[in-house]
Amino acid sequence: MFSSTNAITPAGYDRFRKYLQKVCGISLSENKQYLVASRLGKLLEREGFNRIEALVDTLEVGRNKALKEEVINAMTTNETLWFRDSHPFNILREKILPEMKDRPLKIWSAASSTGQEPYSISMVIEEFKASKPGVLRAGERIVATDICTNILQHAKQAEYDSLAIARGLGADMQRKYFDKVNDSTWRVKRNLSTRVEFKFLNLIEPFSTLGKFDVIFCRNVLIYFTAETKLDILRRMHSCLNPGGYLFLGGSEALSGLSSHFDIVQCHPGIVYKAK
């Protein structure tokens, strides 16, 4: 009988975590065999792999792109909600958007998951424009990227069930910014969704072709990378920011070793990093 736990041998697990780090930057600790077993067990059984070494052998040949994509999708964490942590969105509305008067605004939501973050940003922009008419007149664009292809497809649809809607979103915002599809599904209104463009992106690969941004949200993703990979990504993000542009990190993430690149802006509550 197939056992996903027995399929994850110590040597096989070590090979797999090195492969995963190489292709997408995710760094698994030495004691996460159970996580791999739970997320890849069905895939291993379906493909007839008795040991994870056989999966890695196939992946390293590089011919089965669909299998590689499925493995990355399975190993990617996609926990999110509307207006997560609240502080970054308050800082965006109260400090950053007023500075963007009479100039185009471009925001990057990195690791955007199922879309709650970029759509929350779009709602903040809409609320700001209603309260401060005439300030943002040059257009706004939000680029949302993720490595998980099936999650990106879900985000592009801009449709959410009642359970997902309830995670961080009040009834008044739901009525204001969503259209009801049926009894259990709601769709983000078109004036918000057309502002957002979703793209596939692996953060460990070059991303300078995305262009320059005024604001980057890169929250709750760098914790999955090694310190070296994290620093590399942050340096390249700095290069993607316009002078004086802003970077948001997750609540449990800190920017260290890059004091020559960013200033810390205390916003009480919350902080944001400003590109030098």
Query: Catalytic amino acids?
Result: 39, 146
Residues 6+ apart with CB under 8 A from 118: 107, 109, 112, 142, 144, 155, 196, 198
Residues across the chain: 276
Contact residues for 260 (Cβ-Cβ < 8 A; gap 6+):
276
Task: Give bridge partners of residue 140 from the DSSP assignment.
Answer: 105
The token pair that represents 59 in the structure block? 């992946």
Interatomic CA distance for residues 244 and 239, integer angstroms = 11
Distance CA 160, CA 145 (A): 19
